[in-house]
């Protein structure tokens, strides 16, 4: 994959192309998003090279939607790519390119992976979107794309499952790609195992499609002891994701972040309760709200050390609005989040619905904003 990445970077910097195809993951740049983008761009480039004519001059790039200086905060992404021998210097980050200039200079096609709603910052890309692969619940209120946009939106445990399915649809071509680039099969498999927590019944995120994709990839990488191999991968990736001891509260707030209008929604690989006990944690939240012009923060925590635990806190510069949102989330029923109040110091809750991740919070927050 390094060869593909370095060659694409060379073409980008030399402007030696006529058509630009950009595969973009979501703004949290978690492992699912980053790997979906990198592998799918690699596949598109590989299959294009197999079929293109000499006069056609397209490039396919993966853009990680995070600033280069913040990449180290994505501990499991950096770990996984490092294990696969992928060099950070070959990656393209959002502050490496001026997308607005590129789309006005070159014919541009945009492929969205692991999201189907563009952030405000990237909404100018809407007319250029031609393909979408996502595993979030479909939000038809935000669908502003032109007719004919290709989409593969299915609720599964991992977007890497859908990338695998899309490549697998090509039959022998897909098989050949994975045999020539086993690192792509291996890394997709890593993410499916992590996102489903090795098909945990307690987490309840896995679907038959996730299992089918994992089994297919195991055949491609010739994984011999499947159960041990899966568990070993999970253990390594969980350690990498939860190793946040060196991060400050401010960095933790940026590690896995989404912003919905004026609602700041970070997700932590530790419990919110642990985060709030860190020195200057509350100050860091209020600084982040001011810096991002946000009014509300919904902090989401998860811990897997002794069985799955989840918690949430609502913090606001406007206490009345914070109270309204907390009450709204407690009453939300699609699905019920089962929030149990635990503190008078702030709006802090244990989350009893362990299957509900940020994906289940986003529709609730969208609804809250509509009704405000």
Instruction: Determine the Cα–Cα distance for residues 263 and 293; give it in Å rounded to an integer.
Output: 9
Q: Does domain 2-240 have CATH number 3.10.450.350?
A: no
pLDDT tens string, the chain, 372 residues long: the values are 889 999 999 999 898 899 999 999 999 999 999 999 999 999 999 999 888 666 678 999 999 999 999 998 999 999 999 999 999 999 999 999 999 999 999 999 999 999 999 988 999 999 999 999 999 888 888 899 999 999 999 999 999 999 999 999 999 999 999 999 999 999 999 999 999 999 999 889 999 999 999 999 999 999 989 999 999 999 999 999 888 988 999 999 999 999 999 999 999 999 999 999 999 999 999 999 999 999 999 999 999 887 899 999 999 989 999 999 999 999 999 999 999 998 766 799 999 999 999 999 999 999 999 987
Cβ atoms within 10 Å, residue 80 = 24
Q: Where are the domains of the chain?
A: 2-240, 249-371
Check: pTM over 0.85? Answer yes or no. yes
- The answer for residues whose C-beta is within 8 angstroms of residue 302's C-beta and 6 or more apart is 267, 268, 269, 270, 271, 308, 309, 310, 357
**If you search the block for the tokens 């939860």, which residue do you land on?**
242
Question: Domain 249-371 belongs to what architecture?
Answer: Roll (3.10)
By DSSP bridging, strand 58-64 and strand 19-24 are parallel
**If you search the block for the tokens 């980008």, which residue do you land on?**
12
Q: How many residues does the chain have?
A: 372
């Amino acid at each position: 994959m390094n060869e593909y990445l370095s060659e694409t970077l060379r073409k980008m910097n030399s402007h030696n192309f006529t058509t630009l195809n950009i595969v973009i993951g979501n703004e949290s740049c978690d492992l699912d998003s980053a790997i979906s983008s990198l592998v799918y761009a690699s596949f598109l480039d590989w299959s294009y090279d197999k079929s293109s004519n000499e006069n056609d001059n397209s490039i396919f790039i993966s853009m990680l939607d995070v600033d280069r200086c913040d990449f180290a905060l994505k501990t499991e992404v950096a770990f996984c790519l490092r294990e696969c021998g992928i060099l950070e210097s070959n990656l393209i980050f959002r502050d490496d390119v001026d997308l607005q200039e590129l789309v006005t200079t070159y014919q541009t096609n945009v492929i969205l992976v692991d999201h189907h709603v563009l952030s405000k910052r990237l909404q100018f890309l809407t007319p250029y979107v031609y393909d979408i692969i996502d595993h979030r619940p479909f939000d038809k209120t935000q669908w502003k794309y032109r007719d004919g946009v290709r989409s593969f939106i299915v609720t599964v445990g991992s977007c890497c499952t859908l990338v695998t399915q899309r490549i697998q649809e090509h039959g022998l071509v897909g098989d050949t790609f994975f045999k020539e680039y086993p690192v792509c099969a291996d890394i997709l498999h890593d993410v499916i195992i992590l996102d489903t927590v090795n098909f945990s019944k307690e987490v309840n995120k896995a679907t038959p499609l996730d299992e089918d994709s994992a089994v297919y990839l195991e055949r491609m990488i010739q994984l011999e002891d499947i159960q041990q191999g899966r568990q070993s991968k999970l253990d390594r990736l969980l350690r990498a994701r939860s190793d946040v001891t060196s991060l400050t509260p401010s960095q933790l707030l940026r590690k896995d972040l989404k912003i919905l209008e004026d609602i700041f929604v970070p997700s932590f690989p530790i419990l919110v309760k642990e985060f709030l006990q860190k020195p200057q944690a509350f100050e860091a939240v209020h600084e982040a709200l001011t810096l991002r012009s946000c009014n509300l923060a919904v902090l989401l925590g998860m811990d897997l050390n002794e069985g799955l635990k989840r918690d949430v806190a609502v913090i606001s510069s406007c206490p009345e609005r914070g109270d309204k949102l907390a009450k709204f989330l407690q009453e939300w029923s699609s699905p019920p989040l089962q929030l149990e109040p635990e503190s008078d110091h702030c709006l802090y809750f244990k989350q009893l619905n362990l299957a509900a991740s940020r994906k289940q919070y986003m529709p609730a927050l969208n609804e809250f904003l509509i009704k405000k």
